[in-house]
Amino acid sequence: MKKKVGVVGYGGMGQWHVCSIAGTTYLNAIDFNESDVCEVIAIYDIDPAKNEKARKDGYKAYDTLEEFLSDKDIEIVVIATPNDVHESIAIAAMEAGKHVICEKPVTMSCEALENMIAASEKHRRRFSVHQNRRYDDYFVGMKKISEDGTIGDIISIESRVHGDHGIPGDWRKTVEKGGGMLYDWGVHMIDQQLWMLGYDVESVYARFDYLTGAPVDDGCFIDIKLRSGKNLHVEICTYNFIQLPLMYMRGTTGTAMVGSWQDPIHITRCTAFADDDNIRPAKTANGLSKTMAPRTDRSMESYVELLPQVDVHNYYRNFCDAIDGKCEQLVTHDQMRVVMKVIMAAFESAKTNTVVKF
Ligand SMILES: NC(=O)c1ccc[n+]([C@@H]2O[C@H](COP(=O)([O-])OP(=O)(O)OC[C@H]3O[C@@H](n4cnc5c(N)ncnc54)[C@H](O)[C@@H]3O)[C@@H](O)[C@H]2O)c1
């Protein structure tokens, strides 16, 4: 039987959850198939106009959080509100006996996260964060390349999301509600990279952009060093009119890169590193460089891999199976703790212009 979901917050992402579960069209742009594991039965939004819309869309909508949480049929509460109220709503929902999927960032401090985890343990309810970008096709493809050893052992990863419209919306531009690009996109990229290469964080260095006049970061650049020696770089910008590659990964025997969300994965493997016969130096306007000489296909091969097929329902399938005790939940509490600690370290680093050691 499908598990019954109630959604708190019927804005952009709340409606995304509802459409993706119901199998309807989201914003005239994405057509979803119906979920095979859950169904949405109720909505609550603090804005009466959003509740009215939910009713018009065919859902039961409640006027207060208390009434919504006292609906005995709701098993899973999905929280898709601005970030400052994730903690209080999640704790109230778990107290009311509901399992909780919280939108990212799960909350805005390590202390708040510990309160949420404590509620999950006390009430024995599943609690996780919607790190849906673990299932993005380009990321799944790059993770597989890292695990297969296609380009040897991974040395470093860089992930970039570059836009040029500034920060959208209203609450995303405010400090109190948890706006800014570190909380918005940074959390996805940090989560992806740690999940791929490990949670053994040694240090974090970050700097922020404030180019559009917002009081929050409208761009962030984060360097994470792992104890294993691997280096991670995350970059989110809203003021870049030429974009750099979405993901770039160096290994001991090659390099893999995804240019943009529409691109396949480009892989170059070095087949004979020391093969320096017939090197033809690179020519610049005012000199030559043997160091930067291009390789020929005698010592390297390049090819393109299509992105894997992914299924938007996998996140919910995992969460529902975890409720039934059939598997571990995809995003664990310990993983959330490290990601939150990295975010806090990035805020501190950007403020003090120092490397923050773990
Ligand atoms: N995982 C993803 O890919 C992804 C994408 C976008 C947004 N998000 C996350 O989803 C959350 C919502 O973002 P959004 O873009 O949908 O914002 P939004 O502004 O479009 O929608 C937020 C909704 O929450 C409602 N709301 C505000 N306070 C509330 C409260 N106390 N109780 C009930 N409802 C309340 C608002 O009225 C609004 O309808 C954020 O945490 C954001 O980071 C995640």
- Whether the Cβ atoms of residue 265 and residue 257 lie closer than 8 Å to each other: yes
Name the DSSP class of 35: P
**349 is written with which tokens?**
């680093």
Please, which pLDDT band fits residue 55 given cuts at 50, 70 and 90? very high
Pick the residue whose CA is nearest to atom 5 on ligand 1.
13
Residue 148 is predicted with a pLDDT of 97
Place of tokens 């290994």: 251
Of 130, 158, 192, the position where a domain reaches its end is 130
Tell me: the pLDDT tens digits for 209-254? 999 998 999 999 999 999 999 999 999 999 999 999 999 999 999 9
Helices (H), 130-265: 137-148, 181, 187-197
Q: Is the minimum distance from the CB of 17 to ligand 1 under 6 angstroms?
A: no
Residue 279 is predicted with a pLDDT of 84
What percentage of the chain has pLDDT greater than the value 70?
A: 99
**327 is written with which tokens?**
């598997």
Q: Is 114 exposed, middle or buried (0-12, 13-18, 19+ CB in 10 A)?
A: middle
Residue 191 is predicted with a pLDDT of 98
Say if residue 22's pLDDT is above 70. yes
Say if residue 346's pLDDT is above 70. yes
Residue 114 and residue 27 share a domain: yes
Residue 125 and residue 206 share a domain: no
CATH number for the domain harbouring residue 41: 3.40.50.720
Tell me: the pLDDT tens digits for 104-148? 999 999 999 999 999 999 999 999 999 999 999 999 999 999 999
Of 99, 130, 161, the position where a domain reaches its end is 130
**276 is written with which tokens?**
């320096």
Residue 99 is predicted with a pLDDT of 98
- For the segment 67-88, the average pLDDT, to the nearest whole number, is 98
- For the segment 293-302, the average pLDDT, to the nearest whole number, is 91
- Whether the Cβ atoms of residue 215 and residue 176 lie closer than 8 Å to each other: no
CA distance 171 to 304: 40
CATH number for the domain harbouring residue 292: 3.30.360.10
Inside any domain, residue 299: yes
Count Cβ atoms below 10 Å from residue 39 Cβ, excluding itself.
Answer: 14
Distance 13 CA to ligand 1 centre (A): 6
**191 is written with which tokens?**
């989560």
Residue 226 and residue 149 share a domain: yes
Say if residue 277's pLDDT is above 90. no
Q: Which of 64-68, 115-119, 203-207, 279-283 has the lowest mean pLDDT?
A: 279-283
Name the DSSP class of 182: I
Distance 156 CA to ligand 1 centre (A): 33
Say if residue 276's pLDDT is above 70. no
CA distance 18 to 39: 8
Inside any domain, residue 63: yes
Inside any domain, residue 182: yes
Domain count, the chain: 2
CA distance 321 to 296: 50
Residue 300 and residue 188 share a domain: yes
Tell me: the pLDDT tens digits for 6-20? 999 999 999 999 999
Residue 94 and residue 38 share a domain: yes
Inside any domain, residue 324: no
Q: Is 212 exposed, middle or buried (0-12, 13-18, 19+ CB in 10 A)?
A: middle
Residue 305 and residue 156 share a domain: yes
Helices (H), the chain: 12-22, 48-56, 65-69, 86-95, 110-123, 137-148, 181, 187-197, 314-323, 333-352
What backbone phi and psi angles, to 5 degrees, belong to 313? Answer: -85, -5
Count Cβ atoms below 10 Å from residue 137 Cβ, excluding itself.
Answer: 16
Residue 258 is predicted with a pLDDT of 98
**57 is written with which tokens?**
């869309």
Side-chain-facing half-sphere of 10: CA atoms under 13 Å: 25
- Whether the Cβ atoms of residue 75 and residue 5 lie closer than 8 Å to each other: yes
- Whether the Cβ atoms of residue 25 and residue 303 lie closer than 8 Å to each other: no
CA distance 256 to 151: 8
Inside any domain, residue 196: yes
Residue 222 and residue 98 share a domain: no
Inside any domain, residue 325: no
Contact residues for 195 (Cβ-Cβ < 8 A; gap 6+): 131, 134, 143, 335
Of 130, 150, 181, the position where a domain reaches its end is 130
Q: Is 29 exposed, middle or buried (0-12, 13-18, 19+ CB in 10 A)?
A: exposed
Residue 208 and residue 164 share a domain: yes
Inside any domain, residue 97: yes
Mutational pocket test of ligand 1: of 27, 45, 102, the residue with most ligand atoms within 8 Å of the beta carbon: 45
Please, which pLDDT band fits residue 25 given cuts at 50, 70 and 90? very high
Distance 68 CA to ligand 1 centre (A): 17
Residue 179 and residue 48 share a domain: no
Distance 11 CA to ligand 1 centre (A): 6
Q: Is 269 exposed, middle or buried (0-12, 13-18, 19+ CB in 10 A)?
A: middle
Count Cβ atoms below 10 Å from residue 67 Cβ, excluding itself.
Answer: 11
Say if residue 343's pLDDT is above 90. yes
Ligand 1 closest atom vs CA 133: 3
Residue 163 and residue 117 share a domain: no
346 lies in which domain range?
135-312+340-357
Residue 140 and residue 54 share a domain: no
- For the segment 30-51, the average pLDDT, to the nearest whole number, is 97
Residue 275 is predicted with a pLDDT of 74
Note the residue count of the chain.
358
Residue 152 and residue 46 share a domain: no
